Amino acid sequence: MYSKAQSRSSIFGMSWKPANTTLAVTLTLLFLIFLIVFLTVTAQQVQAQTFTVIHTFTGGTDGLFPDAGVTLVGHTLFGTAFGGGAAGQGTVYKMRSTNGNWTFAPLHAFGGSGDGAQPVAPVVIGRNGSLYGTTQVGGSGPHGYGTVFNLTPSPTPAETPLNAWEETVLYSFQGQGLGAIEPGWGALAADQAGNLYGTTRGGGMLGYGTVFELSPSQEGWTEKILYNFRGNNDGVQPIASVVFDNAGNLYGTTYGGGAYGLGTVYELTPSGSGWVESVLYTFTGGSDGTSPWGGVIVDQSGNLYGTTNSGGMGRGGTVFELSPSAAGWVLTTLHSFSYNGSSPWPGSYASLAIDQAGNLYGTTSLDGANFAGNVFKLSPGNGGWTYSSLHDFTGGSDGWDPVGSVTLDASGTVYGTAAQGGTYGDGVVFEIRP
């Protein structure tokens, strides 16, 4: 007769009967103890991450659609919002934590003309404690092709937070001749001399985008085009930021172009006659992914890490590593996101973050359990990488569409933004505590 005991043992492909009842009871108790311990550990792992919305945008003076993520300095977060503010053209804001309580203050509301409009990139902190950033449109140029701006604390007491910081437009993109237009989504990079580096997704010699440098002087800031993309194998539309390695070389990505028209990873090397561009990798549309929107980061060994927002084995984008070798740069796909049927590009739009242990952190726009985006972590070990989701957005009060990069503090707390959703549908700032 077929018994329940036989059915349990058949699950493991074997037929086994204990020698005596005492042994059976002992093994059963051991199994139950193991099961309890396993479930307890699993529950602790699931509950280890605590997600909290620390600001919900209202679409008013605080802004709306915080696309860019946040920049952390001490216990203060700085960020930009694409819209909102007094003129509806975007804001720069800060948030400060005191004993675990966060306070929000808008620092600047863009007017939409000479001072710029619609910031989509993060701000960076300069050596003097001031903020540097870009707007993708506006400025004093004839067509409003964007700006590079500086925000500094006011030397005199202010009545409101908006009056506590003063904005200066360092440069307005002209878009004429060889001029660049529309700074990209990536943050500016700075060198030890205080020069600023960034990308524009259009303009330049042939209109395919540029890498530029802004240098300070007593007369103001001077723009210099370091590289004009030609629209062929070298790439098209450098939307993301550039990043330095320890030798002073710059690295970045292009959204399109390359041998297959699906994007590139490039290097700019300084030389006596200027900067020389080299294409390190051309995306093929296979398991490597396509269309890298975010930039790359560099680890201490000189490896590059980045994301694509489509393609790969799951057709939803990838996380990749580029490693230098004697034969050139070798790409390894660390993770492939799955196409969920609701959007052709559910993958990552942002650059990655890395901690001291070499773990990678990032966001997806529409991936995750609820197809509303998520925050993920990739951990190296045992010759591979382990993927885990730190938070799956629901599309409700926690937000959705997290397209910006995340940042981490020394304790491993992750900070970021969801561009949409929240109580008013205008986005949120969040923290995820380990």
Tens-place pLDDT, residues 151-165: 998 877 666 666 688
**What is the C-alpha to C-alpha distance for residues 212 and 204, in angstroms, rounded to an integer?**
10
**What is the C-alpha to C-alpha distance for residues 96 and 105, in angstroms, rounded to an integer?**
9
Q: Which of 215, 223, 227 is nearest to 190 (CA)?
A: 215
Q: Which portions of the chain are predicted below pLDDT 70?
A: 1-48, 157-163, 341-346
Tell me which amino acid residue 366 is: L
Residue 412's pLDDT is 96
Q: Looking at the DSSP assignment, which residues form a beta bridge with residue 278?
A: 267
Residue 51's pLDDT is 98
Domain ranges of the chain: 117-433
Predicted TM-score (pTM) of the model is 0.87
Cβ-Cβ contacts under 8 Å for 325 (sequence gap 6 or more): none
SS3 category, 334: strand
Cβ-Cβ contacts under 8 Å for 1 (sequence gap 6 or more): none
Contact 209, 202 (CB under 8 A): yes
**Length in residues, the chain:** 434
**What is the C-alpha to C-alpha distance for residues 238 and 201, in angstroms, rounded to an integer?**
5
DSSP 64: B
In order of 62, 101, 273, 427, the CA distances from 87 in angstroms are 12, 29, 45, 18
Residue 100's pLDDT is 84
**What is the C-alpha to C-alpha distance for residues 223 and 172, in angstroms, rounded to an integer?**
10
Which CATH number is 117-433 given?
2.130.10.10
Residue 7's pLDDT is 29
**What is the C-alpha to C-alpha distance for residues 412 and 353, in angstroms, rounded to an integer?**
11
